[in-house]
Amino acid sequence: MAQPAPFVTRFAPSPNGSLHLGHALSAIVAHDLARTSGGRFLLRIEDIDGPRSRPELAEEFRRDLAWLGLEWEEVPAQSTRLASYAAAAEALRARGLIYPCTCTRKEIEAAGAVEGSDGLIYPGTCKHRPPDPAKPAAWRLDSAKALAETGPLIWDDALAGPQAVDLSGNGDVVLVRKDLPASYHLAVTLDDAADGVTLVTRGADLFAASHVHCTLQALLGLNVPRWHHHGLLLDPDGQKLAKRRGSPALAERRLAGEDGHKLADALRVQHLSLGT
């Protein structure tokens, strides 16, 4: 088999809570795939969630990653990239590909929205009505119009193989939030392109988001990476590990004197057992 191209991967945590085992696994997968291909592993701090962002946590993340034995190159944090989000949103707006939505979550639920692959599928209430300018508006992707512009698209997951873009499970997702200059979908797609990421690694819980990201790459003329969605660590009940379920923070384990390199190796073994 041909050697894989040197991959550029990234780990992009948000400094609004400590890192846990699931984050460690994501970082290790990204790090190892870059290193074994002779490529680069990037760290990007996703710190645009204003009031919830705590700068001191970014420093904690760096200590955690070093403790796990990882080496990285740090690229600019999201808070330095707001102009690029605004420019992309403006370009999409000018082409009529996003529309304002003033709905609250309650209104979306009341409109009979069904659960999709990533929360409720927006029922399109605001698509055909002028928005009330007095209310704060988010901007949503007009997925039907986007699809008409892009035509059929395929994205490639290293594990699951080629995937035909299908936005039906996502619906008209938010690209510009009411309270922030970009949603996760828009920011991460632009950042990955700006950073030259060629292999997007993340947990399988974000698999469906890649349909949106591939669509945005086509609409905005961005380079299209490859994806690698890895299996998730589960707790003994088969639930995704989450901090609310009591998984200890990496920083706690580090400060308690646990051997981070050993933990990283244990996670690598566990990861193999997930078949991914």
* Integer Cα distance of 46 and 55 in angstroms: 11
Question: Where does 82-231 have alpha helices with state H?
Answer: 82-94, 105-110, 143-150, 184-194, 209-220
Q: Tell me which residues touch Zn ion (CB under 5 A).
A: 101, 103, 125-126
Q: 3-class DSSP state for residue 171?
A: coil
* Closer residue to Zn ion in complex, CB, 46/172: 172
Which tokens belong to 276? 């991914």
Q: Which residues pair with 101 in a beta bridge?
A: 138
Least distance from Zn ion to the Cβ atom of residue 102, Å: 6
* Closer residue to Zn ion in complex, CB, 51/130: 130
* Integer Cα distance of 198 and 213 in angstroms: 13
CB atoms within 10 A of CB 132: 11
243 is a catalytic site residue: yes
Least distance from Zn ion to the Cβ atom of residue 127, Å: 8
Least distance from Zn ion to the Cβ atom of residue 17, Å: 29
Give me the amino acid identity at 105: R
Give me the amino acid identity at 268: R
* Closer residue to Zn ion in complex, CB, 45/101: 101
* Closer residue to Zn ion in complex, CB, 177/230: 177
**Inter-axis angle of helices 184-194 and 209-220, to 10 degrees?**
60
* Closer residue to Zn ion in complex, CB, 27/103: 103
Least distance from Zn ion to the Cβ atom of residue 97, Å: 16
CA-based R_g, the chain, Å = 19
Least distance from Zn ion to the Cβ atom of residue 173, Å: 12
Spot the catalytic one: 127, 145, 240, 243: 243
Q: How far is CA 175 from CA 105, 129, 143, 193, 271, in A?
A: 16, 19, 11, 16, 32
List, by residue number, the catalytic residues.
Answer: 243
